[in-house]
Amino acid sequence: MKVATAAYQMDFLTSWAQYEDKLETWVGQAARAGADLAVFPEYGAMELATLSGRDVAADLEQSLSAVSDRLADADALHQKLAASHGLHILAASGPAATQTRPVNRARLFAPGGRKGVQDKQIMTRFERDVWRIQGGGPLQIFDTDLGKIGVLICYDAEFPLLGRALADCDLLLVPSCTEQLSGYWRVRIGAMARALETQCVAIMSSLVGKAPWSEAVNITTGTGGVFGPPDVGFPPDGIIALGEIGSPGWTFAEIDLASIANVRTDGRVLGRRHWTEQKGRENAAPIVNMR
């Protein structure tokens, strides 16, 4: 299969038609390049808040509701694009309303009409302390025509037990939104580590550029990247494809599910299989007095 992962820059939108045209351009470009899967980043849906005006987009609390109110229409658009272009799409995540506080929700669309949702599990300090986003529903594995797919939204990719819960996945999608280069590297290192541990392919997308109209996502840094285990059938550094930091656009990569199956059964190491041999994996290791 061929995958496309985005370094996506948001715009200040003046009409819904402008958003439709933008998404059609992005998805159409990926489809024309032969992509079977297009991955958009975390919080890319925040540009929908601009449709409610600059004051709403700039207000943390109001922007949450403004985006949440538009998600159903955005989902319908993504479903239409997935069907018309014949590819799977992970839509840019955004706040989705619940009975309490919003969650950060990504949505996966299959060309045949199916839709799956994945909420972020663990909130960053800004999300929990300032924005008051909460963790959502449990992790899920989506069984698709492209193989088994899991989603670890940004910070979630830094936690190995979340990756372990998705160990049966062939592909781990890691949509991200990071302000600084250090944040990008934390998520990228996490994505690469999860690919190593579960012997799968991790596909990271990033929000990039400046959005001065938003306090939440005003500056973002990153790029698209596709990573596998540095083992049989994969590059020695694990980097299958990598974009240029801060440069908007798609990064493309060819992925062979047979290579994933082979490295899991006959790799030079079998970390996925040997995971349960770790000592102290559930409890803290005892302290040994060496004074």
Q: Which CATH architecture has domain 2-276?
A: 4-Layer Sandwich (3.60)
> What value does the mean pLDDT take over residues 34-46?
98
Q: For residue 52, give the H/E element and its range.
A: none
Place of tokens 């929990």: 128
Residue 108: CB atoms within 10 Å:
24
> What value does the mean pLDDT take over residues 169-179?
98
Please answer whether residues 206 and 172 qualify as being in contact, where contact means their C-beta atoms are separated by less than 8 angstroms: no
Helix 60-85 and helix 16-32: axis angle, to 10°? 40
Cα three-residue angle 191-35-222, rounded to 5 degrees: 35
As given in the structure block, the two tokens for residue 267 are 């790799």
Q: What confidence score (pLDDT) does residue 280 get?
A: 66
> What value does the mean pLDDT take over residues 94-111?
97
Residue 272: CB atoms within 10 Å:
18
In angstroms and rounded to an integer, the radius of gyration of the C-alpha atoms of the chain is 19
Residue 148: CB atoms within 10 Å:
17
> What value does the mean pLDDT take over residues 33-57?
98
Per DSSP, the three-state class of 283 is coil
In angstroms, the CA 64 to CA 60 distance is 7
Q: For residue 203, give the H/E element and its range.
A: strand 201-207
Please answer whether residues 220 and 208 qualify as being in contact, where contact means their C-beta atoms are separated by less than 8 angstroms: yes
State residue 247 phi and psi, 5-degree precision.
-100, 115
Place of tokens 């041999």: 277
Instruction: Tell me how far apart the 2 most distant CA atoms of the chain are, in Å.
Output: 70
**Does residue 45 carry a pLDDT above 80?**
yes
> What value does the mean pLDDT take over residues 71-90?
98
> What value does the mean pLDDT take over residues 211-234?
97
Place of tokens 């494809």: 241
